[in-house]
Amino acid sequence: MTAQPTVPLDPAPDLRATPGPPRHLAIIMDGNGRWAKERGLPRIRGHQAGAHAVRMVTEACCELGIEYLTVYAFSTENWKRPAEEVMALFGLLEHFIAAELPTLMENNVQLQAIGRLRELPINAQCALEDAIRKTSTNTGLTLVLALNYSGRAELEDAIREVCQDVAAGRLLPEVFTQEHLRNHLYTRAWPDPDLLIRTSGEMRLSNFLLWQLSYTELYVTPKLWPDFGKADLLEAIQEFHRRQRRYGGI
Ligand code: FPP
């Protein structure tokens, strides 16, 4: 949807640096359905509460000086859910964008989206495009919504583009490196996540940012996503600071 500039790989991280907040936080927001079930409510009420948690966590990231926040809002596998829930989720997304746009502008947040966005319902695409354009010159937090996203689909799309470069004679297979592939990922303009938070206790990546999470610190909390707030975020960041990131070194 938005053309991301081509950038070189990040330089090797300075391992002596004092840890600040993570530059890039990624979140698998899980547990909306269980949250609703515990309360005898329809699942969409859990997603509504989940959207509120997105708002709170985005605000907290702005306060903490985090530069990038990527949230897994809809996976390519989520189409398997009942049509009613899928449609309600996209309705909620449209409502969220419209309701949050003034706050995003006020907080200098740039909205971005990754995934196979052209397959989204047209109203959701239009709402997204509009908000991405209106926030494009904001210089604070970059909030990335992963929508109709999966790590394998992203790699498939990136590899297809590399193959096209080879077929057109723009790239020789002998000089191909991982940097070429990285420059075709949806996330090519941004650093890889430093910290991944997954709520509701499941110990899996669920096809999220498979390339980008290679050296990311993982933090899993039993809290359900709608219950996750600023205090939980601070706890995760404190735990992140206790980790020693060695990037394969000693
Ligand atoms: C996983 O919980 C959550 C989702 C598949 C959707 C995430 C959506 C939101 C947080 C709300 C909308 C987001 C935005 C950005 C407006 P689940 O339904 O799989 O929960 P369960 O595992 O307990 O059933």
Q: 22-150+192-242 is classed in which CATH architecture?
A: 3-Layer(aba) Sandwich (3.40)
Long-range contact list for 90-97, CB < 8 A, 24+ apart?
90/120, 90/121, 90/123, 90/124, 92/44, 92/47, 92/48, 92/51, 93/124, 93/127, 93/128, 93/145, 93/147, 94/123, 94/124, 94/127, 95/51, 96/51, 96/54, 96/55, 97/127, 97/128, 97/130, 97/131
Please report, rounded to a whole number, the percentage of residues in the chain having pLDDT higher than 90.
88
Instruction: Compute the distance from residue 73 Cα to the ligand 1 centre, in Å.
Output: 6
* Structure token pair of residue 132: 């991405």
Q: 3-class SS at 49?
A: helix
The answer, yes or no, to whether any atom of ligand 1 lies below 6 A from the CB of 226, is: no
Pocket test for ligand 1, best of 34, 38, 41, 47 (most atoms within 8 A of CB): 47
Whether the CB-CB separation of 19 and 30 falls below 8 Å is answered with: no
**Per residue in 131-147, pLDDT tens?**
999 999 999 999 999 99
Closest-CA residue to 233 (of 26, 86, 81): 26
pLDDT at 17 over 60: no
pLDDT at 11 over 70: no
DSSP output for 107-133: TTPEEEEES-GGGS-HHHHHHHHHHHH
Give the position, in ligand 1's atom list, of the atom nearest the Cα of 224: 23
Give the position, in ligand 1's atom list, of the atom nearest the Cα of 97: 16
Q: 3-class SS at 203?
A: coil
The answer, yes or no, to whether any atom of ligand 1 lies below 6 A from the CB of 212, is: no
Higher pLDDT: 10 or 187? It is 187
Please confirm, yes or no, whether 148 is among the known catalytic residues.
no
Residue nearest to atom 14 of ligand 1 (CA): 51
pLDDT at 45 over 90: yes
Please confirm, yes or no, whether 227 is among the known catalytic residues.
no
Q: 3-class SS at 205?
A: coil
The answer, yes or no, to whether any atom of ligand 1 lies below 6 A from the CB of 50, is: yes
DSSP lists the bridge partners of residue 143 as: 69, 111
Instruction: Compute the distance from residue 190 Cα to the ligand 1 centre, in Å.
Output: 24
pLDDT score of 95: 98
| Residue the block writes with tokens 């191909």 | 176
* Structure token pair of residue 40: 């005898």
Q: What are phi and psi of 183, to 5 degrees?
A: -75, 0
